[in-house]
Chains A and B, each alone.
Chain A
Amino acid sequence: MLPSRRACRRLDPVLAFVAQVGQRSLQSLREVGYHAALLAEAFYWLLLGRWRRQPVRLRAVFKEAIGVGVNAIPIVALASFATGMMLAIQGIYTLRTFGAEGQVVLGISLSVTREFAPLITGIFVAGRSGSAIAARIGTMQISQEIDALRVIGINPVRYLVAPLLAAMLLTLPALTVLSDLVALFGGALYCAGELSLPMGVFFDRTFEVLIVQDVLHGVLKSVIFAVIVTLIGAANGFNVSAGAEGVGRATTRAVVLGCIGIILADMVFTFLTSR
């Protein structure tokens, strides 16, 4: 057994620091393990629940899909539009130094589909839904609703997490494609004004330079983000123990860890697939 934190403080400060780092790492490792187990269990119920007499209900999946997906459309669309426009502005500003404004379409379409659309969608869904998932499950944890589910014979992961995961896996890629289109539209709109480039020509060129793999690259990322947001939200919710304050902490943690998780995963994924 590890020495308690109080016992650590009495040791040599350096030793205490090392002990604390060790304790933290062990805790993080445990948390990663917990997330992995949660993911495995959620998939287990999604795939095999029907044979274990505990099916994941389609209605629940649809309900969650509306909550995490459909209701996120306005905010994701707005952010994507602004991003597309911002990319056009910056692109034209940068490329003008080389007198290569015409190449801005290439820059916009590639960075939108491969990077910005999935990232913005992921971050916004993490902010909207990651916190909501943690808050909902955390509140249910402290009001004993999770216990109530278990004694009724309803597996909480099957009932709460599996439909969410399915909904996220369905809606996040869809939102990403939507974000692609809206961001490109924003870029096209600015180019039309600044470079007098007709919108039709902008989109024609876009579809010339884009290959399926670019779009797929972005959509695949969004699938990973969907898993990250759901798991981090749910895990923080289930681990709430200290009353209402704990729920507050869990929601904050879900958003912060969710966003960081998304950005790190994005980096690793891009590194592995783009060289």
Chain B
Amino acid sequence: MDIRIEDQPPFKVVRLSGDVDLHSSPKAREAILACLKQKSPLLVELSAVSYMDSSGVASLVEGYQTAKKLGLEFGLVAVAPAAMNVLKLARLDKVFPIHASFAARLPAT
């Protein structure tokens, strides 16, 4: 798994790619919670995720709940099918704010 953190004002963006599994998801969780600690609204980009297990989804859930508590926006962007299936299994596709692309969420410039 690879994590990249970018600034797309006003958002911070966490880009996850590759396999988000039992070994790598703690790093994703840390990155997400660290960004939220800086009081920044957060988008998690998942287009290049080849596999995501429920530990990855659990990290997203924890991130979303933390963001809600802090009053910050949290969203998923371009969710790859591999991750979407797992979200759907737990009916979380109806819970997370999911955006098809950055364009769909970012303010037009």
Touch A–B, Cβ below 8 Å: no
Residues in B lying within 8 Å of A, measured CB to CB: none
